Amino acid sequence: MIIQRLDELAEVIEVPLATLNQHYLDTNFKLKVPVHFARQIEKGNLNDPLLRQILPSIDEAKSVKGFSQDPVGDLNANPIDSLLHKYQGRALLITSPQCDIHCRYCFRRHFPYEQAKKRHWQTALEHLASDNSIHEIILSGGDPLTLSETGLLELLRQLEQIPHIETLRIHSRTPVVAPERALKLDWLAALKASRFNVVLVVHCNHPNELSDETKTLFEQYRRADVTLLNQSVLLKGINDSAPILKALSKKLFSQGILPYYCHLLDRVEGASHFEVDDTPAWQIFETLRKELPGYLVPKLVREIAGEPYKTPIIKTL
């Protein structure tokens, strides 16, 4: 179900292994891609926008000034190992060190997940219970939907015992990249029965990532009364064009999802080749604002370490 070897990927996408090898970089943040996502890649196309998101590339070896291992200040924002508390009223729980996919631009690609294992949940839950300013808990990771269904149900049960938490937000890329792994029927039933407002924020960067399978999955989440939003990252050579982002917004909406954020790249070491500058980003969004209704235009933002909210990108022309 999950590809972790280059020869397996070469077979699915029908690109010769020798060709892939010319572009491949062996790095600590290894190749990892679900078969479902790999099948969405156009066969034989080395420049496919989905392939570029997952192929460890020799471009990652470049050392570029201003790119660091912790670009958004996560390491200074965790009062205890598995909890990040950056924004007022909301806290983020690192629920799992795993993702079903390794996105090459990931801002947490260097995060020390081994320090945020499940054994710390209890401390995190105690911290949440003691701070009644927190009304929303965000399950993040890694990816929370890589947890077992039993683990998710237990976590939900424990969170429901904290009376001041009203909203449960789940950040996950799994529904898009491996929809079969996000279809957990007991979990969906528990969400529907939960006292929480439940929000699922998926992560999709290109319309080609959405499929009939994702559509069916999102129908199930909507039936469980889950609000569906999307966040994306603006990535050079992948989705840095108005027609692609317009198609993405329309396809998301056709699957019941509203665009929420489009992030400028977090300047993480190894991802400099994906960066889009502010001016072209703004120009793309000017076109989107003209051509789409407001509810289909995501907020263009950048995360700046230490800021109390995500910073909107303003006109710099």
In the complex, the residues that contact ligand SF4 under the rule CB under 6 A are 99, 101-103, 106, 108, 141, 143, 173, 203
Six-digit token string for 278: 């502010």
Name the minimum Å distance from CB 182 to ligand SF4.
12
Name the minimum Å distance from CB 140 to ligand SF4.
8
Name the minimum Å distance from CB 118 to ligand SF4.
17
* β pairing state of 90-94 and 136-140: parallel
Residue 108 vs residues 103, 164, 195, 204: alpha-carbon distances, Å: 10, 29, 31, 17
Name the minimum Å distance from CB 116 to ligand SF4.
12
CA distance 99 to 119: 18
Between residues 60 and 143, which has the closer beta carbon with respect to ligand SF4? 143
Strands of the chain, DSSP E: 2-3, 33-34, 83-84, 90-94, 136-140, 167-172, 197-203, 227-233, 258-263, 299-302, 311-312
Between residues 48 and 100, which has the closer beta carbon with respect to ligand SF4? 100
Q: Are 55 and 49 within 8 A, CB to CB?
A: no
Name the minimum Å distance from CB 204 to ligand SF4.
11
Helix, strand, coil distribution of the chain in percent, nearest 5:
40, 15, 45
Name the minimum Å distance from CB 223 to ligand SF4.
25
8-state DSSP, 33: E
Partner residues linked to 200 by β-bridges? 170, 228
Six-digit token string for 172: 């996950």
Between residues 233 and 292, which has the closer beta carbon with respect to ligand SF4? 233
Between residues 184 and 203, which has the closer beta carbon with respect to ligand SF4? 203
Between residues 105 and 221, which has the closer beta carbon with respect to ligand SF4? 105
Between residues 4 and 132, which has the closer beta carbon with respect to ligand SF4? 4
